[in-house]
Amino acid sequence: MACIFCKIIAKEIPAEILFENDSAIAILDVNPIHYGHALVIPKNHHKDFLEVPENELPGMMHAVHVVARAIVKSFDLRGFNFFSNNGTVAGQSVFHFHIHITPRYPDDNIRFVLQLKRYEGEEMKDVAAKIRASIQE
Ligand code: AMP
Ligand code: ZN
């Protein structure tokens, strides 16, 4: 078993565990954006969000809710981010799905550098139609 998060879940390597339920475990990230930066990780190995079965999602989101509330309380925060990197192109480095929760502070200068696009003509309608046509429930 090469996966670092599977090893943490199996308690084969140490981590600062914050919370656990049937579906997920929450730990402190070892390289935090800010102190308190946490990771919520499904107990079963899934490489990314799309691989997580639907029945594990409520437990995952429950853990995100519980841990985010605790982080906000602990550091008296005015805001936080939660996010997930899926795929190398999106910055994923550990290929066992996880959701980051990180404190935010005024003027902490953390931002995506964005060059926002504009839809022209019918493009926005076309893009929405394309995605709607791909939706499978
Ligand atoms: P990502 O780049 O979105 O895949 O995030 C992976 C995160 O896992 C990074 O923020 C790492 O700092 C964190 N990480 C890697 N190994 C460990 C570990 N052994 N314990 C806690 N966090 C880890
Ligand atoms: Zn794993």
pTM assigned to the model: 0.96
Q: Would you state the structure tokens that stand for residue 137, as one six-digit string?
A: 């429930």
Q: Which residues pair with 98 in a beta bridge?
A: none
Show pLDDT as tens, one digit a residue, over the chain (137 residues).
699 999 999 999 999 999 999 999 999 999 999 999 999 999 999 999 999 999 999 999 999 999 999 999 999 999 999 999 999 999 999 999 999 999 999 999 998 889 999 999 999 999 999 999 999 87
Domain boundaries, the chain: 4-112
Any ligand 1 atom below 6 A from CB of 86: no
Which CATH fold topology does 4-112 show? Answer: HIT family, subunit A (3.30.428)
- Cβ of 38 closer than 6 Å to ligand 1, yes or no, is no
Cα separation, 54 vs 51, in Å, equals 9
Per residue in 4-44, pLDDT tens? 999 999 999 999 999 999 999 999 999 999 999 999 999 99
Distances (CA, A) of 100 to 14, 32, 67, 80, 86: 19, 10, 11, 10, 12
| Cα 52 to ligand 2 centroid, rounded to whole Å | 12
- Percentages helix, strand, coil for the chain, rounded to the nearest 5? 35, 20, 50
